[in-house]
Amino acid sequence: MSEIEPGAGLSFPTFHERSEKMTPLDLARVELTEKMRELIRDSFVTNAGLDAVQKATDLVSLAVEQVRSNKRLTGEDASQMVFLDRSPLMGAMNALSVPLVMTIEGSGDDRSIVGRAVFTEPYEGPPGHVHGGYVAAGFDEVLGMAQSLSGRPGLTGNLSVTYRRPTPLFVELVYRGVCTEIVGRKIFTHGTLHHGDVLCAEATGLFLSMKPDVMARLFRDQQQGGLTDLQ
C-alpha cells in the first residue's frame, strides 16, 4: 500500500505526480494552510465576544496583506504547485480542503484507491451530517484518482451518486474507488463511502482520457492565464 500525503513521493501519472520534493517555501505554505483551516473551523463554533472577534478580524487582515500578491504564479513556480496541492478536497495548500488522505491498495490490475477524511462543521448539510455536495465531490476526487491508475488520466464525463444513508460529521469516513473498465477513451469507475460497516453512498463515474497534447495545453494555459479548448 502506498500513501499519498503532503511532501511524499507521489506515484500518479501526469497531473497527479510531484516531480520534486516540497521546498521550504512549499512547506511553509502547507503550515499556513493548516492554520487557515483551523480558523475556518473555529470561526463556525466560537463563543468569543465582539472584541475578540474584531481583534481576530484585524489580525487576519494583517496576514492577508503579508501574503497578497498582484501577480499570479507562472512558469516554473506554478509548475511546482501541482494538482494535489491545489485540490479543493485533498490539497495541502488549499484551506478549503477537508483534507482527504489517499492510499493505493493492492497491486497490478487489482489496485484501488482508498480515501479517508473527517468532515467537520464547515461541510455540514443536514444537522450533524455531511452536505451531499461534498459527498459527491469526494467521489469525484477518489474516482479521479482511480481512473489515473490506468495511466491515461482524463476529465469527468459523468458522475452518478446514490445516497444510501446520511453521512455523519466528526467520524472517519472511508471512500473506496476502482477502475472497472476501459473502452477506448472511456474509463469507467465505481466507488463506495462507508462509516465503519455502514454504506453511506456509492457512485459510478465515467472519465474521458485526454490526449497528451491537450494535457500539455492545459498546463501551458494555466501558467499563462488562458483557456484551453478541450475538444
**Model pLDDT, residue 8:** 33
C-alpha cell at 183: 473502452
**Model pLDDT, residue 226:** 54
**Domains along the chain with CATH numbers:** 2-19+73-224 (3.10.129.10)
Each of the 231 residues of the chain gets a pLDDT tens digit; together they read 444 333 333 334 445 556 678 889 989 999 999 999 999 999 989 999 999 999 999 999 999 999 987 666 654 455 445 667 888 999 999 999 999 999 999 988 789 999 999 999 999 999 999 999 999 999 999 999 999 888 887 899 999 999 999 999 999 999 999 999 999 999 999 999 999 999 999 999 999 988 777 766 766 666 565 555 555
DSSP string, the chain: -EEE-TTS----SGGG---SPPPHHHHHHHHHHHHHHHHHHHHHH----HHHHHHHHHHHHHHHHHH--SS---HHHHHHS-HHHH-TTT-TT-TT----EEEEES-GGG-EEEEEE---GGGB-STTBB-HHHHHHHHHHHHHHHHHTTT--EEEEEEEEEE-SPPBSSS-EEEEEEEEEEETTEEEEEEEEEETTEEEEEEEEEEEEPPHHHHHHHHHHHHHT------
**Model pLDDT, residue 86:** 84
**Model pLDDT, residue 150:** 84
Cβ atoms of residues 92 and 30 within 8 Å: yes
**Model pLDDT, residue 158:** 98
